Amino acid sequence: MTTSGDDLLSERVAGGILPKVLTTFDMVAIFVAIVLFITNAAVIQSAGPAAFGWWIIAFALFLIPCAIVTGQLGAMFPGEGSIYLWTSKAFGPFWGFFAGFCAWWPGVLVMVATGTLTISFLGFVFPAVGGLSVQAQGGLIVAILVLAAVLAVLRFRLTQNVVNVVFLAYGLAILLIFAAGVAHLLKGNAAATNPWDFATWSPSAEHGINFANWSFFGLAVLALLGVEVPLNMGVEIRQDRAVTRYLLWGSLAVMIAYLAATWGVMVSVPADKSAQITSVAAAVGIGLGDWAGKLVALLLAAMFFIITVVYNYSFARLIFVSGLDRRLPQAVSHVNAQKVPDVAVWIQTVLAALFTVVAFVVVPFAAAAPADAQTEVYNVLQAAVTVIWCLSIVVLFIDVLIIVRRYRTQFEARRLASPAVFWVASIIGALASLVGVISTLSGSWTPLISNEAGSFVLFGARIAYGTWFWLVGGIALASLLVGALLYLLGAGGRQKGPA
């Protein structure tokens, strides 16, 4: 259902429903919450000092192209729904809905991941939490999801103020991770892993980029997904200039934070323990004392809870606008007295809770090794949605090329760079996204189950097609089919309903 021309109904009415409350600072806080999972600074430690090389390559080939493309699309069409809106402009209603679904679905399951991380850092401080059974942890995650939803449906300005305060605490925690590395060295200790030999920053010091280790590049790409998500709330931004400003300052914050935290962990934590997700807190305990490590763990637990809130209200806007455009039931577009899309928030919460129950309660209950089963189910689901999210980013890079050409008047009025810049950014960024897909399908997350059926070699990388490949690829494909089916079902409802 559209209005005059190719404008979506949601483009006209969303701005009258949702208040303009977001400032540049708010947008930077949301950007960091969406993109910066500081635990990735621990996971990438397995690469050794080459982690810095992979970060820099990923910043150049993925984060910066994403920011360039998102900035231009957001400047031209700063409406609600970001990739849903832009793909509708470029390719029409079906692909707009489909791209929106591909961008939305990962957000639901990421909320399960942030709940898990919240528990992990609480367990670092309170061993009793870490000692809970798998089923009890699942129940705690469900409680976290519900509490996050309650906060997400409050008056948006109030919720965002809470997000901003915890965002500042997050910055303090990351600063302490870096300071812990400095303190560790000042005490006369040797670095746990020497990051000062810059030759070892290269993915392969002798032969250039080592494609056999490109899973680390895939990890870095996955750690940078979500650049466009803050513009899911495009009509709620007070000033147009906040679009480009949040991309600039947010990208800088993310790059500095990942490099600083990676260095702090690498210097302080023994190599055999550095890849554990809680090592970002352990590093602070080693460098600054046990009390400081526990303080950072509490700050990170608070931040990952708040990230759950941010994911919920940010991704809820995608199905909210689909409801306005009658591509989903109209009830999805309901807003409460605080002018927040509450039905969309609760739909996501219920879905995330259901997946939590399956992964942490049902499957472990039926398994001989509950903890192992829970881990495998969780990893497979997260990998599958990662594949989908990367594919949606490929669509984003195609969108800008179509839109810049089709909407010449709007482009010239809000032109940020030459069309050639967007071509270069799109080609590089799309290829980086596809590498993220391939590295995820390669089974690098769980190497023990990757080689059951065989493998093939692609550019020097061994891609296993055992259980992991078929589970992750199958769930991703099934999810894409569900997205297409939802649109077709919604199309039938629109034909029967009012025009």
Q: Are strands 455-458 and 461-464 parallel, antiparallel or unpaired?
A: antiparallel
Tokens encoding 251:
């990208």
- Least confident segment among 84-93, 154-163, 313-322, 444-453: 444-453
pLDDT band at 4 (very low <50, low <70, confident <90, very high): very low
pLDDT tens-digit profile of 399-454?
999 999 999 999 999 999 999 999 999 999 999 998 888 878 876 555 444 444 55
SS3 239: coil
Q: Show the 3-state SS of 114-136.
A: HHHHHHHHHHHHCHHHHCCCHHH
**Residue carrying structure tokens 């980086």:** 432
Beta partners for residue 233, in sequence order: 80
d(CA 207, CA 179): 34
d(CA 105, CA 445): 20
- Mean pLDDT confidence for 318-345: 93
d(CA 313, CA 344): 8
Q: Give the pTM.
A: 0.90
Residue 47 has pLDDT above 60, yes or no: yes
Q: How far is CA 333 from CA 104, 146, 313, in A?
A: 15, 20, 13
Tokens encoding 199:
């030759």
* Ramachandran sector of residue 8 (left: φ over 0; alpha: ψ -120 to 50; beta: rest): beta
**Residue carrying structure tokens 């429903």:** 17
Length of the chain: 499
Q: What are phi and psi of 249, to 5 degrees?
A: -70, -35
**258 contacts 223 by C-beta, under 8 angstroms:** yes
pLDDT, the chain, mean: 86
Say which amino acid occupies 125. Answer: V
Element (H, E) at 349: helix 342-357
**435 contacts 214 by C-beta, under 8 angstroms:** yes
pLDDT tens-digit profile of 119-141?
999 999 999 988 888 889 899 99
